[in-house]
Structure 1
Amino acid sequence: MNDPEVTSFIEDGFVKVEGAFPREIAAECRRVMWPDTGCDPDDRSTWTKPVVRLFHYAQEPFRIAANTPALHSAFDTLVGPGRWVPRPGLGTVPVRFPSEEDPGDDGWHVESSFEGDDPADFMSWRTNVESKGRALLLLFLFSDVGENDAPTRIRTGSHLDVAPILEPAGEAGLPFMELARRAEAATEHRPVVHATGRAGDVYLVHPFVVHAAQPHRGTEPRFMAQPPLHPAEPLTLHRPDGTYSPVEQAIRQALGR
């Protein structure tokens, strides 16, 4: 990853790694996932839901996709060597199907990263200014994604507005819905880009970026995993030696440090 890409990540909140894993591996992963959707890839009459959520894939093609040299190098650059945990596989795969039905999950939000009062209630999960529990949000494209294929919407530079919202909440942070509400309002002025690309591309996204799903207006299902990259050590905004990662630099910049 070159210096302009790192600068773009700090300012915009994301960077796209094209061909981060082989298209052949993406096809193998789709073959594993299709039966779990409950749908027939050759029978569109079975595509009855706008979105089907799949979880927890640790088979070999998923491990390969998550751990290519290109991705490991990018993780080292953005998070820091030794500061992130290799992924054993990939999970949380929302498969979006062409549909006129409202998917019901397309609101603007920031990903939560640690448990709240009720671990079983996702809405109680929280995010704090040091991004406890999450170093990056990763978007793995397992199918080609065009403008009509429900690409994830990203508010460019929105992470710089979110950090000041989180700072007064301290270590406890804010719960999912409260942060979503405040972050949506604070980032309405930000330009929107779509996470389009080819199977095998991966978006590396700052954990504070405001993003959203959208309805599928295309013709073929969209397969995309959206796991976190976990930190091996806590992110920190106070390093005596000044060796801040780009993820940390972006937060510090947002806070005027």
Structure 2
Amino acid sequence: MLTRDQTEGFYRDGFLRIDHGFPSEIADEARAILWRDTGCAPDDPDTWIRPVIRLGMYHDAPFREAAASPLLRETFDALAGPGRWLQPGAIGTFPVRFPSDEDPGDTGWHIDVSFGTENPDFMEWRANVFSRGRALLMLFLFSDVGPDDAPTRIRVGSHLPMARMLAPAGEAGLTLREMAAGGFGGTEDYPEALATGAAGTVYLCHPFLVHSAQSHRGTQPRFMAQPPLLPATPLSLDRANGDHSPVEQAIRLALSGAA
């Protein structure tokens, strides 16, 4: 169970940092697989010739075990609601970031959209106020990530104005292009947090949290996955029994003006 401070922090900030979310030994095993697939050598920086290499979803045991840790499963229940999420059978995608002066070309602010993905133009992919297709955004750190190691940038509390931006569009929601044109709910001046931590740290984020990648200014590559937690049942903002999950309740607070 979350403490009162943790729950209120999630409502306010839109994310929860879980230290030791999964064992560092599992991170080591997973990272060895990822290094193999990058085609780069861990001990030869001359092979690190691109600022970012994108790797797909991984079903190997270390990845499944990372997402199935008892602590994470309990926290999924606490944030998304018991029985309302699907256990990840894979982890990904991985934007593996390398130290580089080259612009990686993917550092724009956004929320992770979750439907309409059949459109070849990703700027037309969509999200709606009911967070169709996504219960949580998750950031799994498979390497140590310091302030210079391209940690994900987070606009603290941005999930609240994003809920208010999405609400008038109803079930249809908005495209990523429309959200960008609207300044992602006017969050340009919101305070920023960095998703740093030791390997095994996990950030569990509200689906509407505005975030961005950044260039790598450190010395060692960063391995981080950003999978969704998929819903088992649709989110609901009007449960007859009032049993709203913190993800749902944060949206309700935003729309009521209480947050």
Deviations 1:56-80 (A, max 9, x none): 1000000000110000000000010
On the 8 A contact 1:110/1:183 being kept in 2, the answer is no
Greater shift in the superposed pair: 183-192 or 216-225: 183-192
Structure 1 consecutive aligned stretches of length 4 or more whose deviation exceeds 6 Å: none
On the 8 A contact 2:155/2:210 being kept in 1, the answer is yes
Distance (whole Å) between structure 2 residues aligned to residue 13 and residue 185 of structure 1:
14
Correspondence list, 1:46-65, <5 A: 46-65=47-66
Q: Which residue matches 2:155?
A: 155
Q: 1:6 Cα shift?
A: 1.1
Q: Which residue matches 1:178?
A: 178
Q: Which residue matches 2:77?
A: 76
Residues 121 and 251 (structure 1), Cα distance of their counterparts in 2 relative to 1, 3 Å cut: same
Q: Which residue matches 2:105?
A: 104
| Total equivalences in the alignment | 256
Q: 1:214 Cα shift?
A: 0.5
Q: Which residue matches 1:124?
A: 124
Q: 1:185 Cα shift?
A: 6.0
Paired residue secondary structure (2:17): strand
Deviations 1:124-155 (A, max 9, x none): 21100000000000000000000000000000
Alignment of 1:27 with 2:23, yes or no, is no
Distance (whole Å) between structure 1 residues aligned to residue 236 and residue 170 of structure 2:
13
Normalised by the size of structure 1, how large is the TM-score? 0.97
Alignment of 1:17 with 2:43, yes or no, is no
On the 8 A contact 1:162/1:183 being kept in 2, the answer is no
On the 8 A contact 1:109/1:184 being kept in 2, the answer is yes
Q: 1:51 Cα shift?
A: 0.6
Identity across the alignment (%): 59
* Structure 2: tracts of 5 or more residues without a match: none
Equivalent AA in structure 1 for residue 87 of structure 2: P
Distance (whole Å) between structure 2 residues aligned to residue 201 and residue 183 of structure 1:
30
On the 8 A contact 1:161/1:183 being kept in 2, the answer is no
Q: 1:184 Cα shift?
A: 3.7
On the 8 A contact 2:179/2:185 being kept in 1, the answer is no
Deviations 1:5-32 (A, max 9, x none): 1110111000000001000000000001
Equivalent AA in structure 2 for residue 4 of structure 1: D
Paired residue secondary structure (2:138): strand
* Structure 1: tracts of 5 or more residues without a match: none
On the 8 A contact 1:183/1:210 being kept in 2, the answer is no
Q: Which residue matches 1:167?
A: 167
RMSD of aligned alpha carbons: 1.2
Paired residue secondary structure (2:166): helix
Q: Which residue matches 2:199?
A: 199
Paired residue secondary structure (1:140): strand
Deviations 1:64-98 (A, max 9, x none): 00110000000000010000000002010010000
